[in-house]
Structure 1
Amino acid sequence: MSGGFSHVPVLRDEAVSMLAPRDGGVYLDGTFGGGGYSAAMLEAASCTVWAIDRDPAAIARGASLAARYPDRLHLVEGRFGDLLDLLRDRGVMALDGAVFDFGVSSYQIDDPARGFSFRADGPLDMRMGAAGPTAADIVNTCAEAELADILFHFGEERASRRIAAAIVRRRALQPFETTADLAAVIRTVVRPDRSGIDPATRSFQALRIEVNQELAE
């Protein structure tokens, strides 16, 4: 990709080929992230791209790309579930195409300060945006039964009730603050198996979904 914007989504070329951007067209990147899809569309044609992301860090990263395409790339902080209102409020009533890349971004996973991963210690946050309760708020305040339901329904964690009980016992002594702290407690309940998947994986997935209300989008 030209111009030094290095993030390349896995299916970038396939997605842009299907969109076939045209000069004068108006397109939506509903999950801006690292800006790879937006950059590819802007390079493919003299079009306009509206890019939405709930993560203020993603919007800030996109400023350099927007500067390269003045009046063609418009960055909007918000949830893609609210895209109709976000676009309508800005006078965008029709689109020629749209692309979405759902899920947590590599930028969020790789930054310990965001608290998404148990592979590096960081604050137990997991928020894709800047507002709302953190993962620490949930594990430190939810009733045991509610916490077990979150782990079971969003993480398909079969040991959800035992993990929830262990979390409640531990938080009575000291609140959870970091990803490593929570992962360590989960690993006392669920042992590694032959799959090689870390025992904390399903619980962290479940908490991320709950924190960000991903299924409500």
Structure 2
Amino acid sequence: MSFSPLFERLVEAFRTLPGVGPKSAQRMALHLLERDRAGGERIVGALGEALARIGYCQRCRNLTEHDLCALCEDPRRDERMLCVVESPADLLAIEEAGGYRGRYFVLHGHLSPLDGIGPEELGLERLEAEVAGHDYEEVVLATNPTVEGEASAHYISEQLRPYEVRCTRLAYGVPLGGELEYVDVGTLSRAFSGRLPFTS
């Protein structure tokens, strides 16, 4: 049995969201049409305005509706540190974790020649100009621990070699509260190679 073509289009539209399968998309569409049409109108309005007004920060490439995002305009941020992340979601995760107060640069992806994603698509010329134009002491390469993320970090570290800036990588290893028997082999191996002195 199929519903109206408009209903099917709505379900397909919801399926463009990450992690939303056919059943979840169908439930969302039915909920909005049966029980919360006002909520649907709010979604339409907010989504339309966001798509029309949100672009990239001119300095760090984070999402913003202004020339500079709130993080780049914040004078309390540490100007000596720059953290390079793959996506705005990664930036949000680091901000929510707390502890880091420096600047950011968002790549919006990682190097992937097979997908046609090279240095130009990631804005690496702008990243180099950012590092060249500021007195950063450290650039934290916080790309994901995947083959593409590692390749991106290596490429960026080589690109920034002519500048007097220390490139660091996020530490990887056993998660806090984790048990060794459940940790995968790759994580355990990296934890051993990156072990630190014990301090009491």
Q: TM-score, normalised by structure 2?
A: 0.24
Q: Say which structure, 1 or 2, has more relative contact order (CA 8 Å, 6+ apart).
A: 1
Higher radius of gyration, 1 or 2: 2
Which structure is higher in strand share? 2
If the length of structure 1 is used for normalisation, what is the TM-score?
0.23
